[in-house]
């Protein structure tokens, strides 16, 4: 108890010295890259303050990848188990954990009360890997995986998974990815492989979940091919590892997240000459979603915050112009806000037609887990 | 009379020491017990339970998590043990050499140089050390880049160290100052008389180091090594950032189980295995009594 | 052969020749000095090579292959990290306050425990020492989640005290084990001498035992401080969003490969760490001098 007092006293002292006393605080937790934290602090928060001068927006980042989203989910679970209300008001999480968060009853169904909900047309806002999440989420941006390659090292990149499979035999070690660990770019590649080599992409993405597909002949053949394929590739330590090695010319081509790729180029960590491409039959992408915890005490403020973040103006100038990411709301609402060259820059390497046909989603949770498990058992 | 009183008082203290000993240790132990062991017990129990069958909605005791852990990650467990052992050996040798040189070295300038030099990696957290090493040890990283600029290597001859060697190098780089600091401190507190005597008799410094100094600082060295081993077994950032290969260290697999499958059972089972390994190492050294004997002398 | 008789023998042994003495002073001659010097140079490169990498990243605005060194230097990322709308300064302050409080609390628990484990007869001594190993030996995330759950129930969540408690957990391993070793190495004859003169056990402890063990205790203070500055997951689960620390920023930036931000944060955290060490070592030297003379 003594320490609690000491703790409170110290926290209070620090709070007084650190912040002007605001009337309320909006807590935002965001998984993903650090620039998403900066985005809230330096772009969204000042805009929100114009609307609500008495509200301070406080943001914490939880780290990249599913681990970061997991941390948010764990936190909300722990609070729910303890009967405490959530101390986060807005969270930005990846697609895979969102389904579980909805089924666990951690999230509020807020979208109906958001003005900008009608601007969202993507299917991914209704269904997250087979789980119905309609009304619980609004996308912040859409991310897509693609193959990045260095034209000097790979002058004529393979255009499809099948071509790649043959290509690596003649060019061993030039393709690099991170397997299924420590980075979703590798996981995305493996999923794309399974789509391409089993031919059951539609079934795996839309369902229904049919357990007989797992372990069937096509399935095992695809995995066997992947095992062969792995003998001629370089393994990288993760998403950043792939970009790193690509940057240093240690690999010539590899799967990357488009948003991460552009951020790295802007930060000077990736050679400006490296290009992107989408292979046949396509590669998965996922949105990052805005969600509101069920027991948040600032629901109305949180909804207003998300309305601001998903407004056409913010999506155009923040998401597209500043970061070069694909918007969360329907792109047609942004055309009036953006100049032609900003728009073209977004689609320089990957055209809207490409995206329309080759941007896939991740498979249903059942297939997703089965792919990972099979990889661990049979390929590694 | 004074002697008798002293004897009596000493006797009292010796008998009371057991009780007072427990009293002194109690706050620390209770702290760990309440704040860590109690939450940890949930994890331990989780490792030994699986969801019940259809008929029984609860959970039941089972070793299934451990079976899965060994089946999928057996080679990672072996890999972890090998990496940590190799690192420990290298760290011990390096620390003895550094500590020995500082204690026995005669050239004041060089000794001071070593003393200032060796500590720096201490202040670099593991995650930053891993990041440094990642771009330093890579095939076209800074180290090879500089060697190429100096003309010592051609671009075709460069090798990358981003595999198990990178993990060992990072561990040794980061933990060596820790062990060296403790060992140097222990060596500095030694009685110089024995060292001087041996020196005057003409013994070489390496011999003095090995036969006189090291045996006397063994307890400190062992303690430092046990702590280093425990630390290395629990680090996640280094293997994640340095090596993309399989097999990898157990911590990576634990994180993977949790993040990809939400499978806390197997993750906790791996945790139990990890704890048993480190506990075994610590136990062996404690049983050999090298950490001091308390009041038993 | 005891020390005493060794000295007696020494007095009777023939003196070393002058040439041999000079040879020894020069550390085995010029070649010896050069060889050692070369080894030290290698050591310096091994230590500062990666650190140079760190420093380069703090000022690199553009760095990609085939450039061996950054293509463009600048302080862009410093501006980003210390942006007025960011919370870098608050985080830094929290980190330091928490680290210092952790050291104080941790040592207050560890010193009595170390003394008892080293000097007094305790049942199950080995077992108790093993218990202290647990927080480091068992991977943290599941446990931190459970601790957070407990803290939510006790309404301790989000306070500096809660974070200090979690950091103390990790620091305990170092503190207790090193304190035990330090107290174990104290020369008992001095203590016995003090007792014989009539000093009580408490007085003996504060005037003889504790100062002798001080070097080890100072070392453990340093490690607890560093460990606290390195801690991320516990702080997140137990302290965020009220408490943010600089290590959290460093961890996130490191994991995603934002080398510039991670290196800058590491450099910023390096300064208090080095200062802490210099300050306590100054204290250490004085006490070591006082204890010398046995």
pLDDT tens digits, B138-164: 888 888 888 888 888 887 778 888 889
User: Cα distance from B174 to chain C (closest Cα, Å)?
Assistant: 9
Cα distances from A317 to residues A286, B123, B138, C39, in angstroms, run 21, 41, 37, 56
Instruction: Express each pLDDT in A263-274 by its tens digit.
Output: 898 888 899 999
ipTM of predicted assembly, 2 dp: 0.78
Show the tokens assigned to C164.
């200090």
B68, closest residue in chain A (CA to CA) = A377
The closest CB to that of B244, out of A65, A237, A377, belongs to A237
In chain B, the residue whose alpha carbon lies closest to the alpha carbon of C212 is: B189
Alpha helices, DSSP H, located in C198-258:
201-204, 210-229, 233-239, 246-256
Q: How many CB pairs under 8 A join A and C?
A: 148
Q: What is the number of alpha carbons within 13 Å of residue A364 lying toward its C-beta?
A: 19
CATH topology agreement for domains A2-142+286-348 and A143-285+357-379: yes
Contact state of B139 with A180 under an 8 Å Cβ cutoff: no
By percentage, how much of chain A surpasses pLDDT 70? 94
Choice between B229 and B286, residue whose per-residue pLDDT is larger: B229
Give the pLDDT band (50/70/90) at residue A108: very high
Do B140 and B249 lie in one domain? The reply is yes
Residue C287 has pLDDT above 50, yes or no: no
Interface of A with C in 302-341 (CB under 8 A): none
pLDDT at C133 over 90: no
Chains in contact with A, where contact means 3 or more Cβ–Cβ distances below 8 Å, are B, C
Residues B97 and B172 in one domain: yes
Q: Pick from A42, A84, A247: which is nearest to C65 by CB?
A: A247
Inter-chain residue contact C93 with A269, CB threshold 8 Å: no
Q: Above 50 in pLDDT, residue A126?
A: yes
- Report whether B291 contacts C184 (CB < 8 A): yes
Query: What pLDDT was estimated at residue C289?
Result: 38
Residue B35 lies in a domain: yes
User: Number of Cβ pairs closer than 8 Å across A and B?
Assistant: 60
Question: If you measure CA to CA, which chain B residue comes closest to C162?
Answer: B35
Q: For residues C196 and B39, which has the higher predicted lDDT (pLDDT)?
A: C196
Average pLDDT, chain A: 88
C152 touches chain A (CB under 8 A): yes
Looking at the complex, report in whole angstroms how far the Cα of residue A120 sits from the nearest Cα belonging to chain B: 28
Asked if A179 lies within 8 A of B246 by C-beta distance, the reply is: yes
Q: Tell me whether C63 touches chain A (CB under 8 Å).
A: yes
Put simply, the answer to whether A237 touches B259 (Cβ < 8 Å) is no
Q: What per-residue confidence (pLDDT) applies to C123? A: 67
What b/e sequence results for B232-249 when a residue is b if at least 16 CB atoms lie within 10 Å of its CB, and e otherwise? bbbbbbbbbbbbbbbbbb
Q: Cβ of A77: how many Cβ atoms within 10 Å?
A: 17
B122, B242: one domain = yes
DSSP, residue by residue, C104-121: HHHHHHHHHHHHHHHHS-
User: Chain A: residue nearest C164 by CA?
Assistant: A7
User: Is B54 contained in some domain?
Assistant: no
Record: contact B246-A70, CB cut-off 8 A: no
Determine which of B43-57, B109-123, C17-31 has the lowest per-residue pLDDT on average: C17-31
Task: Report the alpha-carbon distance of residue B120 to residue B101 in Å, rounded.
Answer: 18
| pLDDT-based confidence at residue A13 (cuts at 50, 70, 90) | low
Per CB-CB distance under 8 Å, the chain B contacts of A129 are none
Give the DSSP letter of residue B189. T
**Interface contact C134-B275, CB threshold 8 A:** yes
Structure tokens, C270: 């390096």
> By C-alpha distance, which of A313, A293, A299 is closest to A50?
A313
Q: What is the least distance, in Å, from the CA of A20 to any CA of chain B?
A: 33
> Which residues, other chains included, contact B15 with Cβ-Cβ below 8 Å and sequence gap of 6+?
none
Is residue A106 very low, low, confident or very high in pLDDT (cuts 50, 70, 90)? Answer: very high
Side-chain-side CA neighbours of residue C266 (13 Å) = 32
Tokens in use for A308?
A: 């601001």
Instruction: For residue range B108-142, list pLDDT tens digits in order.
Output: 888 888 888 888 888 888 888 888 898 888 888 88
Same domain, residue pair B101 and B240: yes
Kindly state whether C147 is in contact with chain B, defined as any CB-CB distance less than 8 angstroms. yes
Which residues are CB-neighbours of A58 under 8 A, at least 6 positions away? A25, A26, A27, A28, C87, C241
Kindly list the residues from chain C whose CB atom is less than 8 angstroms away from the CB atom of residue B36: 134-135, 143, 147, 169
pLDDT per residue as tens digits for the range A20-64: 455 789 999 999 888 888 899 889 999 999 999 999 998 988 888
How high does pLDDT run on average in chain C? Answer: 79
Query: Where do the domains of chain A lie?
Result: 2-142+286-348, 143-285+357-379
- B residues 50-79 lying closer than 8 A (beta carbon) to C: none
Contact C159 A7 (CB under 8 A): yes
Out of B13, B237, B279, the one facing C133 most closely (by C-beta) is B279
> Topology of domain A143-285+357-379, per CATH?
D-Maltodextrin-Binding Protein; domain 2 (3.40.190)
Average confidence (pLDDT) over C122-130: 76
Closest CB from C20, C49, C150 relative to B39: C150
User: Which of C85, C152, C162 is nearest residue A45 as measured by Cβ atoms?
Assistant: C85
Q: Which of B13, B34, B36, B121 to mutate to test the interface with C (most CBs of C within 10 A)?
A: B36
Within this chain, do residues B196 and B243 fall inside the same structural domain, yes or no?
yes
Asked if C138 and B273 count as a contact pair (C-beta separation under 8 A), the reply is no
Q: How far apart are CA A12 and CA A21, in angstroms?
A: 11
Tell me the C-alpha distance between B270 and B265, whole Å: 9
In the predicted model, is pLDDT for residue C42 greater than 80? yes
- How does C203-242 read in b/e, with b if 16+ C-beta sit within 10 Å? ebbeebbbbbbbbbbbbbbbbbbbbbbbbbbbbbbbbbbb
CA neighbor of C247 nearest in space, from A200, A18, B125: B125
Q: How many residue pairs bridge chain B and chain C with CB atoms within 8 Å of each other?
A: 308
Is A2-142+286-348 in CATH node 3.40.50.1580? no
Question: Minimal Cα–Cα distance from A86 to chain B, Å?
Answer: 21
Q: What distance in Å separates residue B68's CA from the closest CA in chain C?
A: 18
- CATH of residue B115: 1.10.3720.10
If one counts every other C-beta atom within 10 angstroms of the C-beta of residue C255, the result is: 28
User: How confident is the model at residue B234, as a pLDDT?
Assistant: 84
Do both B11 and B109 map to the same domain? no
Determine the residue among B133, B244, B247, B256 to mutate to test chain A binding: the one whose Cβ has the most chain A Cβ atoms within 10 Å. Answer: B244
pLDDT at B53: 55
From A368's Cα to the closest Cα of chain B, the distance in A is: 10
Note the pLDDT tens digit of each residue in B220-277. Answer: 888 889 889 988 988 888 898 888 777 899 888 888 888 888 888 888 888 889 888 8
Give which of B41, B101, B125 to mutate to test C binding, by max C Cβ within 10 Å: B125
**C109 to B31: CB separation less than 8 angstroms, yes or no:** yes
Task: Tell whether A230 lies on the interface with B, counting CB pairs under 8 A.
Answer: no
Burial of C60 (0-12, 13-18, 19+ CB in 10 A): buried
CA distance B271 to chain C (A): 6
Residues of CATH 1.10.3720.10 domain(s) within chain C? Answer: 84-291
- Comparing A12-21, A277-286, B84-93, C234-243, the range with the smallest average pLDDT is A12-21
Residues of A within 8 A of C152 (CB-CB) are 78-79, 82-84
Would an 8 Å CB–CB cutoff place C83 in contact with chain A? yes
What is the value of pTM for the model shown? Answer: 0.83
Which structural domain, as residue segments, surrounds residue B5?
Answer: 1-47
> What average pLDDT does range A113-127 have in this prediction?
87
Using the predicted structure, report yes or no on whether residue C285 has a pLDDT greater than 80.
no
- What is the number of domains present in chain B? 2
Q: If one looks up domain C84-291 in CATH, what number appears?
A: 1.10.3720.10
Angle between helical axes of B214-234 and C125-137 (0-180°, round to 10): 40
Per-residue pLDDT, averaged over C210-217, amounts to 81
Which of these, B246, C142, C121, C93, lies nearest to A177 by C-alpha position? Answer: B246
């Amino acid at each position: 108890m003594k320490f609690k007092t000491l703790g409170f006293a110290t926290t209070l002292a620090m709070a007084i010295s650190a912040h002007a006393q605001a009337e309320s605080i909006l807590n935002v937790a965001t998984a993903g890259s650090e620039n998403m934290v900066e985005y809230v602090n330096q772009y969204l928060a000042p805009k929100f303050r114009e609307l609500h001068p008495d509200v301070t927006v406080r943001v914490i980042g939880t780290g990249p990848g599913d681990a970061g989203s997991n941390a948010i989910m764990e936190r909300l679970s722990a609070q729910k188990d303890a009967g405490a209300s959530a101390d986060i008001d807005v969270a930005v999480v990846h697609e895979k954990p969102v389904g579980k968060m909805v089924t666990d009853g951690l999230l509020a169904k807020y979208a109906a009360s958001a003005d900008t909900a009608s601007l969202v047309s993507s299917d991914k806002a209704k269904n997250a890997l087979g789980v119905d999440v309609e009304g619980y989420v609004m996308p912040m941006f859409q991310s897509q995986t693609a193959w990045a390659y260095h034209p000097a090292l790979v002058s004529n990149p393979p255009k499809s998974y099948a071509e790649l499979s043959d290509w690596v035999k003649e060019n061993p070690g030039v393709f690099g990815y991170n397997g299924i660990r420590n980075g979703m770019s590798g996981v995305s590649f493996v999923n794309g492989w399974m789509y391409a080599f089993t031919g059951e992409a539609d079934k795996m993405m839309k369902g229904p979940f049919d357990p007989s597909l797992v372990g069937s002949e096509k399935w095992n053949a695809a995995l066997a091919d992947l095992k062969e394929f792995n003998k001629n590739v370089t393994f990288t330590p993760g998403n950043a590892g792939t970009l790193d090695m690509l940057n240093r010319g240690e690999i010539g081509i590899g799967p990357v997240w488009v948003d991460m790729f552009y951020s790295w180029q802007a930060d000077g960590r990736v050679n400006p000459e490296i290009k992107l491409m989408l292979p046949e039959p396509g590669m998965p992408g996922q949105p990052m979603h805005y969600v509101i915890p069920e027991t948040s005490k600032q629901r109305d403020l949180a909804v207003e915050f998300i309305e601001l973040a998903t407004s056409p103006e913010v999506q155009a100038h923040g998401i597209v112009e500043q970061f070069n990411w694909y918007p969360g709301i329907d792109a047609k609402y942004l055309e009036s806000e953006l100049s032609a060259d900003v728009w073209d820059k977004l689609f320089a390497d990957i055209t809207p037609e490409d995206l329309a046909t080759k941007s896939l989603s991740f498979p249903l949770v059942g297939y997703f887990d089965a792919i990972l498990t099979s990889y661990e058992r049979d390929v590694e | 009379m004074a002697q008798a009183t002293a004897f009596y008082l000493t006797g009292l203290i010796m008998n009371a020491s057991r009780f007072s000993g427990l009293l002194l240790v109690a706050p620390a132990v209770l702290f760990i017990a309440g704040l860590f062991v109690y939450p940890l017990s949930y994890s331990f129990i989780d490792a030994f339970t699986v969801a019940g069958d259809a008929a029984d909605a609860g959970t039941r005791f089972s070793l299934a998590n451990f079976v899965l852990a060994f089946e999928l990650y057996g080679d990672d467990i072996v890999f972890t043990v090998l990496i940590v052992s190799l690192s420990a050996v290298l760290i011990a040798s390096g620390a003895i050499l550094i500590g020995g040189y500082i204690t026995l070295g005669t050239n004041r300038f060089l000794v001071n140089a070593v003393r200032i030099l060796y500590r720096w990696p201490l202040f670099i957290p593991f995650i930053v050390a891993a990041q440094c090493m990642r771009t330093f040890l890579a095939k076209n990283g800074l180290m090879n880049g500089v060697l190429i600029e100096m003309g010592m290597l051609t671009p075709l001859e460069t090798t990358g160290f981003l595999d198990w060697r990178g993990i060992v190098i990072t561990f040794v780089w980061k933990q060596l100052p820790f062990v060296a600091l403790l060992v140097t401190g222990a060596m500095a507190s030694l009685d110089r008389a024995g060292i001087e005597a041996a020196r005057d008799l003409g013994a070489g410094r390496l011999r003095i180091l090995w036969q006189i100094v090291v045996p006397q600082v063994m307890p400190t060295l062992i303690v430092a090594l046990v702590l280093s081993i425990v630390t290395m077994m629990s680090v996640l950032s280094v293997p994640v950032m340095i090596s993309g290969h399989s097999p990898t260290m157990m911590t990576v697999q634990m994180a993977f189980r949790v993040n990809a499958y939400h499978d806390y059972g197997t993750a906790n089972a791996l945790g139990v295995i990890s704890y048993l390994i480190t506990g075994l190492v610590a136990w062996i050294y404690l049983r050999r009594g090298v950490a001091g004997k308390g009041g038993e002398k | 052969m005891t020390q005493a008789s060794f000295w007696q023998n020494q007095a009777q042994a023939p003196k070393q020749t002058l040439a041999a003495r000079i040879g020894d002073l020069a550390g085995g001659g010029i070649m010896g000095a050069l060889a050692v010097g070369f080894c030290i140079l290698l050591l310096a490169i091994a230590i500062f090579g990666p650190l140079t990498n760190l420093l380069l990243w703090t000022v690199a605005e553009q760095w990609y292959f085939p450039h061996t060194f950054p293509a463009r230097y600048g302080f862009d990322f410093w501006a980003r990290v210390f942006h007025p709308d960011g919370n870098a300064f608050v985080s830094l302050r929290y980190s330091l306050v928490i680290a210092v409080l952790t050291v104080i609390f941790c040592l207050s628990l560890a010193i009595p425990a170390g003394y008892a484990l080293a000097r007094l007869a305790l049942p199950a001594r080995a077992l108790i020492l093993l218990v202290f190993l647990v927080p480091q030996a068992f991977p943290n995330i599941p446990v931190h989640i459970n601790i957070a759950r407990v803290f939510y129930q006790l309404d301790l969540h989000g306070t500096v005290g809660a974070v200090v408690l979690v950091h103390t957990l990790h620091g305990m391993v170092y503190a207790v084990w090193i304190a035990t070793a330090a107290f174990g190495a104290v020369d008992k004859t001095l203590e016995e001498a003090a007792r014989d003169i009539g000093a009580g056990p408490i007085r003996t402890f504060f005037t003889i035992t504790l100062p002798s063990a001080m070097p080890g205790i100072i070392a453990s203070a340093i490690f607890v401080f560093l460990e606290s500055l390195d801690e991320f997951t516990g702080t997140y689960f137990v302290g965020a969003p009220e408490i943010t620390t600089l290590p959290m920023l460093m961890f996130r930036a490191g994991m995603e490969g934002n080398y510039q931000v991670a290196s800058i944060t590491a450099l910023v955290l390096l300064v208090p760490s080095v200062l802490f060490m210099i300050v306590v070592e100054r204290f250490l030297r004085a006490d070591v001098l006082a204890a010398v003379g046995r």
